[in-house]
Amino acid sequence: MHSRTRRGSSGLAGSCSELLAVLLSLTASRLSHAQPAERDPQAANPAPTTAASLGIAPNDYPYPPALDAPAPAPPAIALAKAVPVASTRLSYGAVLSSSGESETGSTSVVLSPLLEGAYAVHPNVLLDLAWGFGWLVDNQGLGESTFRAGNPQFTSYFHADTGPWRFRAGVGVTAPLAHVPLSPDGRLYNFLYNQTMAMWGMWNLWLWSPDRMALPSMFRVSYTLSGGLAFSFEEASAVVFGVRGNATGTESLQQVALEVEFPIGQSFVLRPRFQTVLMPSTSVNRFQSSAVLRGTLQTKAGRFFAGLLINLDEPLGGAAGLERWGFHLGKEIEL
């Protein structure tokens, strides 16, 4: 009974072994006859890892880019091209000049406002309009006052910057609005215009010449050092001719100036200046020289300045150099 059971178990085990062997043989046969799978040639020969494949600059390789790093800021040149600059700009300026003269029992005070506006029609071209006035209070104890207009000047400027150099050149024309009538008030008006010219050291004389018209031309060049120190040379000339009244004939005027800019801190500039004017040929003293000291303060609202002009020689300065002077306070053109 027991011996028969063992033989049955052995026979069953042998049958299972033979079946498993047949199954393995069939599987191996099918695998050996199967078609090989298509292979990716790039997978078989992978490309070497390069900086370009990682999307980074060669200088950063082999370090991977930081995924959470902020994007680098665009260069200033790219920003300038991306943000267009306005092709037109408008700026205003104004100067209030004052002077005084005292004699025995009398005091005369002269105020001279000068208004100016500039319009940039091109990054290198400016159109400028300047118009001055004169106000005389208490002329030599007479208790009189008067207000007169000067000659407005229209000027076209070309300016350019090249490295540390700055250039500006312009041509203009004046309208003969300053007038001295042939009447008893003519002496009062003459005194007002003469005092106004004196407080400017005869600079831009044609702005205050009564009954005359002028064709001025101007040139200015500046050079700035690395520390902010700048040197400037300015020259102007004009042909002046009479148009009415006692103003007759044609005269030529020339003027030159040297100026230095000393930056003090971040927003203040000190500007000493020497200027001289070649007077008309009918003048006894042909040259009028003056010294000017001006301080300019840069603010968010613009550049504001205060200055003092002292005439150094005849006919306005005299031996003491204080016979005629001018105090200037105002805002500069921003263009």
Q: What 8-state DSSP symbol labels residue 248?
A: -
Contacts of residue 142, defined as CB under 8 A and 6 or more positions apart, other chains included, come to 106
For 52-93, what is each residue's pLDDT tens digit? 444 444 444 343 444 444 455 454 444 444 444 444 589 999
Q: What is the CA radius of gyration of the chain?
A: 44
For 4-47, what is each residue's pLDDT tens digit? 444 444 454 555 556 556 555 655 555 555 455 455 555 445 55
Alpha-carbon gap, residue 238 to 139, rounded angstroms: 31
Q: Is the pLDDT of residue 156 over 80?
A: yes
Task: With H, G, I as helix, E, B as strand and everything else as coil, classify residue 44.
Answer: helix
Question: Residue 249, class by beta-carbon neighbours within 10 Å (0-12 exposed, 13-18 middle, 19+ buried)?
Answer: exposed
Count CB-CB contacts under 10 A for residue 237. 15
- Phi and psi for 316 in degrees, rounded to 5? -105, -25
**Given this model, what pLDDT does residue 72 score?**
53
Alpha-carbon gap, residue 174 to 43, rounded angstroms: 84
**Given this model, what pLDDT does residue 185 score?**
78
Query: What is the percentage of the chain residues whose pLDDT exceeds 90?
Result: 50
The answer to which of 55-64, 136-145, 172-181 has the lowest mean pLDDT is 55-64
Alpha-carbon gap, residue 108 to 110, rounded angstroms: 7
Contacts of residue 156, defined as CB under 8 A and 6 or more positions apart, other chains included, come to 125, 126, 127, 128, 170, 171, 172
Output the DSSP codes for 315-332: TTSTTTS-SSEEEEEEE-
Mean pLDDT of 260-265: 95
**Given this model, what pLDDT does residue 108 score?**
79
- What's the Cα-to-Cα distance from 208 to each of 149, 183, 193, 313, rounded to whole Å? 8, 19, 6, 20
Alpha-carbon gap, residue 48 to 282, rounded angstroms: 91
- 34 versus 316: the higher-pLDDT residue is 316
Residue 78 Rama label (left phi>0; alpha psi -120 to 50; beta): alpha
Fold type of domain 91-331:
Porin (2.40.160)
**Given this model, what pLDDT does residue 46 score?**
53
**Given this model, what pLDDT does residue 280 score?**
77
The answer to which of 53-62, 92-101, 311-320 has the lowest mean pLDDT is 53-62
E strands in the chain: 89-103, 106-122, 125-137, 145-149, 153-162, 165-174, 212-224, 230-242, 250-264, 268-278, 287-299, 302-311, 325-331
The answer to which of 101-105, 166-170, 179-183 has the lowest mean pLDDT is 101-105
Q: Is the pLDDT of residue 240 over 80?
A: yes
Contacts of residue 134, defined as CB under 8 A and 6 or more positions apart, other chains included, come to 110, 111, 112, 147, 148, 149, 150, 192, 193, 195, 196, 208
Residue 169 identity: A
The answer to which of 34-48, 88-102, 201-215 has the lowest mean pLDDT is 34-48
Query: What is the percentage of the chain residues whose pLDDT exceeds 70?
Result: 67
Mean pLDDT of 287-295: 94
Mean pLDDT of 166-180: 96
Task: Kindly report the average pLDDT of the chain as a whole number.
Answer: 79
